[in-house]
Amino acid sequence: MKVSLYHFKKFESNLKFAFLAGIVFLFTCSSTIGQNEIQLGINGLTCSLCCKTVEESIRKLDFVEDVKMDLINTIAMVRIDDARSDLDKLVKAVGNAGFSVRNVGGVLQGKNWRVADEMEIPFGKIIFQVLNPDAYQENSKMNIQYLSGKYLTRKEWKKISIKYSDKKMHASGHYILIL
> pLDDT of the chain along its 179 residues, tens only?
454 544 445 444 444 433 333 333 333 333 333 458 899 999 999 999 999 999 999 999 999 999 999 999 999 999 988 777 888 899 999 999 999 998 898 877 665 555 555 677 777 777 888 888 888 777 778 888 888 887 777 888 888 888 888 888 887 788 888 88
Residues 66 and 121 in one domain: yes
Residues 56 and 123 in one domain: yes
pLDDT at 29: 31
Residues 17 and 69 in one domain: no
Residues 62 and 130 in one domain: yes
Residues 56 and 100 in one domain: yes
Residues 81 and 114 in one domain: yes
pLDDT at 109: 67
Residues 76 and 132 in one domain: yes
pLDDT at 179: 83
pLDDT at 75: 95
Residue-range definition of the domain harbouring residue 100? 37-178
pLDDT at 154: 84
Nearest alpha-carbon partner for 173 in 68, 78, 87, 45: 87
Nearest alpha-carbon partner for 105 in 127, 83, 90: 90
Indicate the number of domains in the chain.
Answer: 2
Residues 18 and 46 in one domain: no
Which distant-in-sequence residues (6+ apart) come within 8 Å of 162 by Cβ? none
CATH number, domain containing residue 129 = 3.30.70.100
